[in-house]
Amino acid sequence: MLRGQPLPPGPEESFETPLNDLVGTYIGPQDYEVAVTCENEQIICTMKTENMPPMDIVMQKDDKGVLRVQSDTQHYSIGFFHEPESGVDSLMLGTLAFRKQ
């Protein structure tokens, strides 16, 4: 009989990219857009789409340098990465991919 077991927490790595390097506008599918700003050592990701109010996700590095979500956005996962072929800054928000303009 198969039973689901939670995975143990993986290793946490410090976020080495300077936060100011992430600032910009990220374009996603359809009319989705994420505006990323940096204020007071925090990243603020504002997701915008037509017919919906903007949603902010606030992130900050903890004492170990791990970038953590500080806002109450329990149902979304978010992560920054470089698009493999072009090296362009990108982010994933839930299942949606966004590319920096």
pLDDT in tens, 49-74: 988 899 999 999 999 999 999 988 76
Q: Name residues whose C-beta falls within 8 Å of residue 33's C-beta, 6 or more positions apart in sequence.
A: 25, 26, 27, 47, 48, 49, 98
Report yes or no on whether pTM surpasses 0.75: yes
**Window from 28-32, 38-42, 73-77, 89-93 with minimum mean pLDDT:** 73-77
Backbone dihedral angles phi then psi of residue 72, each to the nearest 5 degrees: -85, 75
Residue 99: pLDDT over 70: yes
Q: What is the CATH number of domain 19-100?
A: 2.40.128
Residue 18: pLDDT over 80: yes
Nearest to 37 by CA among 48, 55, 23, 57: 23
Nearest to 44 by CA among 57, 32, 55: 57
